[in-house]
Amino acid sequence: MSERHRLPVIVGVAQHTDRDSTPDQALGPLESLVKVARGAAVDAGARSLLANLDSVVVVRSFPDSTPRVGRPFGGPDNPPRSLAREIGAAPRELLHTSAGGNMPLVALARACDQIAEGRSEAALIAGAEVLRTQRLALRAGLSLNWDDPAPDKPQLLGEMRPAVSEREALHGLNAPIHGYPLFEIALRAKRGTTPSQHMLDMGRLFEPFAAVAAGNPFAARRQMLSAEEIATETAANRMISYPYTRLMNANVHVDQAAALIVCSEAFADRLGIAESRRVRLHGAASGNDHWYVTERPDLSRSEPIHRVVAKALDMAGSKIDRMSLLDIYSCFPSAVEVACAEIGVAEDDRRGLTVTGGLPYFGGPGNNYVTHAIAEIVQRLRLNPGCYGLVTGNGNYLTKHAAGVFSTKPLNGPWESEHPSVLQAELDGRPRTTLHPEPNGRGHIETYTVSYGKDGPAGVIIIGRLDDGARFIARLADGCPVPNAVLNQEMVGRAVTVSTSDGLSTCTMEAFR
Task: Map out the domains of the chain as residue ranges.
Answer: 3-163+251-428, 441-512
pTM: 0.97
For residue 57, the cross-strand partners are 95, 125
> Does residue 258 contact residue 398 with C-beta atoms inside 8 Å?
no
Q: Name the E strands within 322-419.
A: 325-327, 388-395, 400-407
Domain 441-512 = CATH 3.40.50.360? no
- Residues 475, 171 contacting (CB under 8 angstroms): yes
Beta bridge mates, 405:
283, 390
192 Cβ contact list (under 8 Å, min separation 6): none
- Listed in sequence order, the residues at least 6 apart from 353 whose beta carbon sits closer than 8 Å to its beta carbon are 208, 209, 326, 327, 328, 330, 336, 340, 345, 347
How many other CB atoms sit within 10 Å of the CB of residue 396?
Answer: 22
Integer Cα distance of 387 and 81 in angstroms: 36
| Count of beta carbons in the 10 Å neighbourhood of residue 298 | 12
Q: What is the CATH number of domain 3-163+251-428?
A: 3.40.47.10
Across 116-254, the runs of DSSP E, i.e. the strands, are 122-130, 155-157, 239-241, 244-245
pLDDT of 1: 45
Strands (DSSP E) found in 454-508: 456-466, 471-476, 495-501, 504-507
Q: In this structure, is the dihedral angle defined by the CA atoms of residues 144, 146, 149 and 152, taken in order, positive or negative?
A: negative
- The pLDDT assigned to 2 comes to 56
Cα–Cα distance, 326 to 446 (Å, whole number): 32
Rounded Cα distance, 185 and 139, in Å: 35
**DSSP tag of 435:** B
Burial class (CB in 10 A: 0-12, 13-18, 19+), 166: exposed
pLDDT score at 479: 65
Residue 484 pLDDT: 74
Peptide bond into 437 cis (omega under 30): no
- pLDDT for 513: 59
Taken in order 365, 368, 373, 376, the sign of the CA dihedral is negative
Provide the edge-to-edge strand list for the sheet that holds 255-264. Answer: 8-18, 255-264, 122-130, 55-58, 93-97, 155-157
Neighbours of 211 (CB within 10 A): 17
Residues 426-449: tens digit of each pLDDT: 999 999 999 999 999 999 999 999
Give the gyration radius of the chain's Cα atoms. 23
Contact assessment for residue 344 and residue 319, using Cβ atoms and an 8 Å cutoff: no
- By C-alpha distance, which of 168, 175, 187 is closest to 490? 187
Residuewise pLDDT in 10s, the chain (513 residues): 458 789 999 999 999 999 999 999 999 999 999 999 999 999 999 989 999 999 999 999 999 998 888 899 999 999 999 999 999 999 999 999 999 999 999 999 999 999 999 999 999 999 999 999 999 999 999 999 999 999 999 999 999 999 999 999 999 999 999 999 999 999 999 999 999 999 999 999 999 999 999 999 999 999 999 999 999 999 999 999 999 999 999 999 999 999 999 999 999 999 999 999 999 999 999 999 999 999 999 999 999 999 999 999 999 999 999 999 999 999 999 999 999 999 999 999 999 999 999 999 999 999 999 999 999 999 999 999 999 999 999 999 999 999 999 999 999 899 999 999 999 999 999 999 999 999 999 999 999 999 998 888 888 999 999 999 999 999 987 666 777 777 888 999 999 999 999 999 998 766 565
Q: Residue 287's beta-bridge partner residues?
A: 401
- Number of CB atoms found within 10 A of residue 346's CB: 10
Distance, in Å, from the CA atom of 360 to the CA atom of 475, rounded to the nearest integer, reads 28
Domains 3-163+251-428 and 441-512 share a fold: no
Q: What is the pLDDT of residue 459?
A: 87
